[in-house]
Amino acid sequence: MSNKAHKKKQKISSILGNNLFMIKKIAKYTPWYFFWVVIEGIIWGMINSVSAYYTFNLLNTVSEGKDFPYAFKIIAIMALFYILAYMFDRWYYCIQNLFLRYKLHLKMHEELYQKSLSLDLACFDDPEFYNDFVWAMNESHGRANEVLDDMGKLINRVVASSSLISLFITIDPIIALVLFFSSCVTIICNLVGNKISFEHSKESNPLWRKNSYINRVYHLSDYAKELRISQANDLLLKEYDDNAEKLINMDVKYGKKYFLAYGLGWNAISNLTFSLILIYMIIMLDRGSLLIGGFAASATMIWRIRWLLTDLIERLTKFSKHSLFIEKYREFLDFTPRIKKGEQTPPPFESLEFRNVSFSYEFSDHPKYNFHDADHASHKKESESKVVLKNINMTIHAGEKIAIVGYNGAGKTTLTKLIMRLYDPTDGEILYNGINIKNFDTDEYRKMIGTVFQDFKIFATSIAENVMNGKYCDEDEEKVLKALDSADFSKKLSELSDGINTHLTREFNENGTNLSGGESQKVAIARVFARNYPIVIMDEPSSALDPVAEYNLNRSILNNTNDKTVIFISHRLSTTRVADKIYMFDTGSLIEEGSHTDLLKLDGKYAEMFRVQSEKYQSNSTTVAIEEASK
């Protein structure tokens, strides 16, 4: 987003629309929260205004020499009112408010989680979009509470200040006029201050995200070993110090702007106004047109009105600041993914064809995330010119065992993401049984594909839930046990007292189990055995294993997927001998295809790659082991 977009002036209709959007969302998710905020605002408005009337009448009663029973009556009424009002206030804040805030937090984040699942994977490749996504996540709940709190305080201030100004007009209209002038200055200063605050937050957001990343590195167990045996600590601490210095410099830069807006603007004018009003009231007192009790009460009311009006105007102007954040939140919720769901349900799998398929990474086509200035335009052009896959033509038939091979960066993983429709081709089409996969319901289509990624993840749930990749019920027990056995996890499972109900990781359960890398890998592989996927994609899940272990693992996978289509992605060739067909990729192009024997006869890139790896295997005495394992 360009700087011009940041500084674009908001229309009043936009400010109102954005804040009403948030208020409606709050009322939808937590209607009682909305209701109690309104009630609390009215009651506190009454407390603020009634206390001023109380002080005014009580002091005038004393100044006019009225009897004690009359003063006692005023005190007793006010005491009862305060007791009841503060009892409600404590009940609301100590019980209702905490519960309702938490409920709102859960509902809003649940909506954002669901939205994040609908986003194209390409969105997470765009740093600007990802920054805004993280910002929306972090801001949504707190911003909703601020909007509602400000609405309640606004009701409070309107009720209180309107009552007090009405009282002041009866004392002297000139004072009311001066207070109005002071309020106008406050409005201007707060509008400027809110704009500064938004720009400050926007500019510092990437820096705070970097701090958050460094913080995660130090408190997540995933990084504990690396930090202790490497020199990454020095690098990270230097990055942390540099980042902190940038944040400090930014705070100083914006601090000067805040000083001009609030220190020299609002503070100077409001205090000068208050001083002038006090001088004017002293003159009235000297002339006898104001009693000493009225003077004391009026001085107190000026302070209260000044504070109420200042806070009222601050609340009003804060809605323009809220609007800036809510607009980004709305843009995220309204973001329309490029990958559109079709309507058809995929039939039983017969073939998958790539027809003239090319792919390149591009920036999001959402208007809010396009670049318009010359520098960004050239960056976009440069990025779009980086083609990952070029004019791919290949066909995979049901039941085939396919190997996709090539060195790192050849485009193999991108190919699998296209198959799973995590991306759509830039050019060409992918056909499932001769039908473009765009015509199918995306969720239903993806249910046809079981995948184990190289960077698979184990979730902080039970083994059974990890294997099912979601909800587990008792009817799934046999399915889970069979899948784990097929993945060669049975021996480890027998050592766990809770069996498939064993909780993995100690993230949330101190009695949880931390599996080794190889054991975790077997649980991840069991996922493709637990459900009846017609297509199984193995995207280098065994890249960390030695060639023999990798070969045995892949043979196990083949033995348990006889009737399924299996696609192996690898830059190592220990499995290619048993593949029905091999596709060799190089820098985004499909350069060779055929069986292992065919490609060796061709004596091209594949044969060269195989010879290099064979020499490595021989030097490590692994060729014999592989041959033995294959018998």
CATH number at residue 109: 1.20.1560.10
What are the tens digits of pLDDT across the range 165-186?
Answer: 776 666 667 776 776 677 677 6
Domain boundary among 484, 504, 528: 528
Share of the chain above pLDDT 90, in %: 17
Task: With beta carbons less than 8 A apart as the criterion, state whether 496 and 464 touch.
Answer: no
Residues 330 and 462 in one domain: no
How many structural domains are present in the chain? 2
pLDDT classification of 196: cutoffs 50, 70, 90: confident
24 versus 562: the higher-pLDDT residue is 24
Cross-strand partners of 565: 535
Across all residues in the chain, what is the average pLDDT?
78
Nearest to 448 by CA among 559, 569, 532: 532
Coil, helix or strand at residue 402: strand
Cβ pair 536, 565 in contact under 8 A: yes
Neighbours of 230 (CB within 10 A): 11
pLDDT surpasses 70 at 512: yes
CB atoms under 10 Å from CB of 450, counted, come to 23
**Paired strand residues for 312:** none
Please give the distance of CA 594 from its chain centroid, rounded to a whole number.
45
Residue 198 within a domain: yes
Encode 286-310: b = buried (16+ Cβ within 10 Å), e = exposed.
eeeebbebbbbbbeebbebbbebbb
Q: Would the pTM of this model clear 0.85, i.e. be above it?
A: no
CB under 8 Å to 123, separation ≥6 — which residues?
129, 130, 133, 335, 337, 364
Amino acid at 321: K
Q: Are 324 and 344 in contact (CB under 8 A)?
A: no
Final residue before a domain boundary, out of 334, 352, 369: 334
Answer yes or no: are the C-beta atoms of 413 and 569 closer than 8 Å.
Answer: yes
481 band by pLDDT with thresholds 50, 70 and 90: very high
Determine, yes or no, domain membership for 21: yes
CA neighbor of 567 nearest in space, from 602, 533, 526:
533
Q: Determine the average pLDDT of the residues in 339-361.
A: 92
Q: Over the stretch 528-543, which tens digit does the pLDDT of each residue have?
A: 888 889 999 988 766 5
The reply to whether 227 and 89 lie within a common domain is: yes
Q: Establish if 117 belongs to a structural domain.
A: yes
Q: How confident is the model at residue 354 (pLDDT cuts 50, 70, 90)?
A: very high
Q: Is residue 406 part of a domain?
A: no
What pLDDT shows up at residue 355? 96
Domain boundary among 473, 508, 528: 528
Per-residue model confidence as pLDDT tens digits over 403-444: 999 888 888 888 989 999 988 999 999 999 999 999 999 989
Is residue 346 within 8 Å of residue 445, measured between CB atoms? yes
- Window from 243-252, 378-387, 455-464 with minimum mean pLDDT: 378-387
Distance, CA of 429 to CA of 357 (rounded, Å): 6
Report CA Rg, the chain.
34
- Residue 354 backbone class (left: φ over 0; alpha: ψ -120 to 50; beta: rest): beta
Would you state the pLDDT for residue 437?
Answer: 96
Quick check: is 536 in a domain?
no
246 by DSSP, 3-state: which? helix
Query: CA 358 → CA 361, 425, 438, 589, 627, distances in Å?
Result: 11, 6, 16, 9, 38
The rounded distance, in Å, linking the Cα atoms of 415 and 614 is: 26
- Kindly state whether residue 185 falls inside one of the protein's structural domains: yes
pLDDT above 70 as % of the chain: 78
Token pair, residue 67, equals 């009897």
Query: Which range, of 220-229, 345-354, 509-518, 580-589, averages the lowest pLDDT?
Result: 220-229
Q: Bigger pLDDT: 63 or 164?
A: 164
Residue 368's pLDDT band (cuts 50, 70, 90)? very low
Domain that holds residue 496: 458-528
- Which is more confidently placed, 365 or 560? 560
Ramachandran angles phi, psi of 429, nearest 5°: -150, 155
Q: Which helix (H) or strand (E) holds 376?
A: helix 374-384
pLDDT tens figures, 226-242: 676 666 777 778 888 88
Instruction: For CA atoms 374, 378, 383, 387, give the dihedral sign.
Output: positive
Residues 10 and 320 sit within 8 Å (Cβ to Cβ): yes
341 is a domain residue: no
The pLDDT assigned to 624 comes to 46
What confidence tier does 54 reach under pLDDT thresholds 50, 70, 90?
Answer: confident
User: Is 175 part of any domain?
Assistant: yes
